Chains A and B, each alone.
Chain A
């Protein structure tokens, strides 16, 4: 854990709060202060740099086949990025699978560019040392759905099935603490430390939570993908680390995405 960053962020928070709150209300709650801080820097989300990086990667020939991803079909036709994320996950005929954005990018990178899958999945998340290509690509793609309505389909039987599996995983209690996702995310107005926990059984909560990911994490100085978010919550749940882009993570994403249908997609977001 990068404590110096966290300390500095808290300092910034304190500064932001002292400016905004002093005049108005000294008793503003911590989440109000986080909201004020978010508002202040909403035009300065460093996720934009990751979007730029992702766009370059999308257009640049790479891999053994020296191909770009401009023929990648994210569900709206080859190369169409605009609005693609607002309808993901979805069923893809070519792979005969329901895929979320990251598993679909994985398909495109392996098939179009010829990059071995293991090279991508070995370290799918960015670190201080090294950015992640697949994660930057995801940031670029989601940015092209900003402001669009989330409309994820469950019409195809496989989509419906993924949704049902996702729902079961969400409520499945296990592990050393006997926790499920729902242990932390199915009650309103509760929090851990300073973080309000979204209640995914409440539409508005599900919408604001899902539509603000991927997000730049100020405390980590990195833009995080949705697969990362799930991975980290499985860790908080003390579950074994899920396989990147696995069927289980895609099903869970399907469940959460459908719960958020109708929201205006607002990512890439900005988190503490």
Chain B
């Protein structure tokens, strides 16, 4: 199920700016415990953002992205009160979707 994201979206001059903070361990699969055992890979592989049902961003994520990733992007359009939805999927098949209303 994953932990909730924090999403902030605001529109200015016809451009919506979206800031997303995700909660994820983003383990590379290369790190070892003190006793030498490998910490299994566990990271987000895909991120998708939609505005009123229209996909405005698709991204492939990988091991080089830090724990608790932060994403900032802009798209043309959007109006106050409309919804932006963000979904991530990870390499274990887990997924999480959160949404936020666009503010002024």
Q: Which residues of A contact B (CB under 8 A)?
A: 2, 4-5, 8-9, 11-12, 40-41, 43-46, 48-49, 218, 221
- Give the contacting residue for B67; candidates A11, A43, A45, A221; CB below 8 A: A221
B-side interface residues, number (CB < 8 Å):
18
* Interface check B3, CB cutoff 8 A: yes
Q: List 27 A-B contacts (CB under 8 A).
A: A2-B31, A4-B30, A8-B28, A8-B64, A8-B66, A11-B64, A12-B66, A40-B72, A41-B70, A43-B8, A44-B19, A44-B20, A45-B21, A46-B21, A46-B23, A46-B67, A46-B68, A46-B70, A48-B21, A49-B3, A49-B6, A49-B21, A49-B23, A218-B66, A221-B25, A221-B67, A221-B68
* Interface check B57, CB cutoff 8 A: no
B1-19 interface with A by 8 A CB criterion: 3, 6, 8, 19
Residues of B close to A4: CB separation below 8 A: 28, 30-31
* Given A43-B72, A46-B70, A49-B6, 13 additional A-B pairs, CB 8 A: A2-B31, A4-B31, A8-B64, A40-B72, A43-B19, A44-B6, A44-B70, A44-B72, A45-B21, A49-B3, A218-B66, A221-B25, A221-B66
Question: How many contacting A-B pairs (Cβ < 8 A)?
Answer: 42
* Interface check B65, CB cutoff 8 A: yes
Tell me the bound Cα distance from A49 to B23 in angstroms.
Answer: 8
Q: B3: nearest residue on chain A (CB-CB)?
A: A49
User: Chain A's interface: helix, strand, loop or mixed, by majority?
Assistant: helix
Residues of B close to A221: CB separation below 8 A: 25, 66-68
Tell me the bound Cα distance from A43 to B19 in angstroms.
Answer: 8
Tell me the bound Cα distance from A3 to B19 in angstroms.
Answer: 28
Residues of B close to A43: CB separation below 8 A: 8, 19, 72
Q: B66: nearest residue on chain A (CB-CB)?
A: A8
A28 to chain B minimum Cβ distance, whole angstroms, is 20
Residues of B close to A8: CB separation below 8 A: 28, 64-66
Residues of A close to B6: CB separation below 8 A: 44, 48-49
B26-43 interface with A by 8 A CB criterion: 28, 30-31
Q: A45: nearest residue on chain B (CB-CB)?
A: B21
Residues of A close to B21: CB separation below 8 A: 44-46, 48-49
